[in-house]
């Protein structure tokens, strides 16, 4: 049959085969992507040997798989192993031809508009990162200052930094695998944020990353805010397990988890943490490790841990773990609010005023926190191999910032073993990662991780098999 693309132009014939549920289509951008140069197009088309094309293909498939209730990366890639995507030119710019794409990304023969925008955001960021960041001598990615500049340029190219208003961006962290009560709570908090004209940024996936955005849309609608920002930040290693949810209206793909985390904290005017698993623990430890640096002692950044009454035990465990490993200084950098969405929103709203005044006084940008110091240990990419995980030092006698950095890496490795393709392969080939440390720290870690497993916070579905072993 002949179908119309979402921009009104005729597209190629679209065929859908059942029961596989796949679609072939030709897709044109909706203005979410500037025209690519001939060099950029050729670079992507000729880069199959370098892996750039395959990276784009896999990220594109992840976007097209949005809405599938699975965080099993290999199941998605195996199910659509015949998926293909080709880049070409047409009179009004570039086009993409997809074959054997998930049918859920289409309605009546046309690709859903939001998914199309996300697809071209992936193309934009993959091309830019490999051309202007990795393929250029402008950025020395071994130098902390240069890394911060690279993060800024990626965000600016994605137009995340176009907003020039008063500080209003609340970064929300939390698990993709959460229960109904916790998900509903994230929506209620998002609603309260929206009523206060605050924007939301998350890791872009399901669960606690979707709920606040969903709630904020209602709050914004009631306040007649038609330009609400729902920013999603992801990276190639996690996007297949956490495909962008449909509410995200600004998507950016960062090169790796460390640059994604830096983007979060430099863009944030406040941070809310909902219940989650290993990935949320990684984010918490990254944030606290930075805030513990003496150079950031005066940096105002409201941080609220919040959840429904059923999450009180969860946050009690997190709070105990932080106090026992990082000390009281770390605990002083956040507040825990249980079962009170309006109070959680009021707390961050009040704190954002302090952020605005601090940035104004220090002549720092509202849309990117240049003055925040991020130690090199938190910027350097960590590849969670078995050797690297075994080398991590987890001892009580370490300075708090080093302990935070190493714990963050440990949780990063557990996330990789749980949901990232490379990590899953490594576990299958060599067995669980081993983490070594003194008995007290290993006991604390075991208690926390065991609670995550009991509460089914590690995976969306299926029996969880630990990808780690703790050795005291």
Q: Express each pLDDT in 161-218 by its tens digit.
A: 999 889 999 999 999 888 899 999 999 999 999 999 999 999 998 899 999 999 999 9
pLDDT at 242: 82
Q: Which residues of the chain have pLDDT under 70?
A: 1-20, 30-50, 67-74, 89-93, 460-461
Give the domains, in start order, of the chain with CATH numbers: 15-133 (3.30.1850.10), 140-472 (3.40.50.450)
Please calculate the CA angle 287-291-295 and round it to the nearest 5 degrees: 145
Residue-wise DSSP of 74-133 = HHHHHHTTT-EEEEEEETTEEEEEEEEEEGGGEETTEE-HHHHHHHHHHHHHHHHIIIII
Closest to 174 measured CA to CA, from 254, 274, 75, 69:
274
Q: How confident is the model over 217-235, as pLDDT tens digits?
A: 999 999 999 999 999 999 9
pLDDT at 7: 42
pLDDT at 16: 43
Q: How confident is the model over 21-61, as pLDDT tens digits?
A: 888 988 887 654 555 666 666 666 555 546 788 888 889 99
pLDDT at 322: 96
Indicate if the alpha-carbon torsion angle 120, 121, 122, 126 is positive or negative. positive
Rounded to two decimals, what is the model's pTM? Answer: 0.89
Q: How far apart are CA 51 and CA 34, in angstroms?
A: 23
pLDDT at 11: 39
Q: How far apart are CA 273 and CA 448, in angstroms?
A: 17
């Amino acid at each position: 049959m002949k179908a119309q693309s979402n921009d009104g132009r005729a597209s190629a014939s679209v065929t859908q085969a059942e029961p596989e549920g796949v679609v072939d289509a030709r897709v044109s951008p909706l203005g979410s992507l500037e025209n690519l140069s001939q060099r950029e197009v050729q670079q992507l088309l000729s880069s199959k040997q370098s892996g750039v094309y395959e990276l784009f293909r896999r990220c594109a498939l992840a976007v097209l798989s949005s809405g599938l209730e699975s965080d099993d990366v290999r199941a998605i890639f195996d199910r659509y192993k015949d998926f293909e995507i080709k880049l070409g030119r047409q009179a009004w710019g570039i086009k993409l031809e997809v074959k054997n794409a998930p049918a859920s990304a289409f309605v009546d023969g046309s690709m859903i508009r939001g998914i199309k925008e996300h697809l071209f955001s992936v193309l934009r960021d993959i091309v830019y990162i490999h051309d202007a960041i990795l393929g250029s001598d402008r950025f020395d990615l071994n130098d902390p200052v240069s890394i911060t500049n690279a993060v800024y340029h990626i965000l600016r190219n994605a137009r995340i930094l176009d907003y020039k208003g008063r500080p209003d961006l609340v970064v929300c962290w939390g698990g993709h695998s959460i229960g109904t009560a916790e998900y509903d709570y994230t929506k209620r908090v998002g609603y309260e944020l929206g009523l206060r004209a605050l924007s939301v940024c998350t890791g872009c996936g399901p669960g606690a990353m979707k709920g606040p955005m969903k709630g904020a849309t209602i709050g914004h609608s009631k306040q007649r805010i038609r330009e609400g920002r729902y920013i999603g930040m992801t990276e190639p290693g996690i996007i297949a397990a956490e495909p962008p949810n449909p509410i995200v209206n600004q998507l950016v793909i960062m090169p790796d988890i460390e640059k994604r985390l830096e983007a979060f904290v430099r863009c944030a005017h406040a941070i809310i943490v909902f219940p989650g698993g290993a990935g949320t623990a990684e984010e918490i430890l990254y944030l606290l490790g930075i805030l513990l640096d003496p150079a950031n002692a005066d940096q105002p950044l409201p941080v609220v841990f919040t959840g429904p009454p059923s999450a009180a035990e969860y946050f009690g465990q997190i709070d105990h773990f932080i106090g026992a490993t990082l000390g009281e200084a770390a605990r002083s950098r956040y507040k825990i609010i249980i079962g009170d969405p309006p109070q959680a929103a009021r707390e961050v709203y009040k704190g954002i005023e302090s952020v605005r005044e601090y940035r104004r006084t220090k002549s720092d940008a509202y849309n990117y926190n240049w003055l925040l110091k991020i130690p090199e240990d938190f910027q350097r990419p960590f590849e969670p191999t078995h050797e690297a995980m075994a080398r991590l030092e987890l001892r009580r006698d370490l300075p708090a910032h080093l302990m935070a950095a190493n714990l963050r890496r440990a949780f990063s490795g557990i996330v990789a073993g749980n949901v990232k393709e490379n990590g899953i392969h490594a576990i299958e080939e060599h067995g669980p990662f081993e983490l070594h440390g003194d008995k007290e720290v290993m006991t604390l870690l075991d208690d926390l991780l065991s609670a995550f497993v009991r509460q089914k916070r590690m995976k969306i579905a299926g029996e969880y098999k630990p990808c780690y072993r703790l050795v005291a």
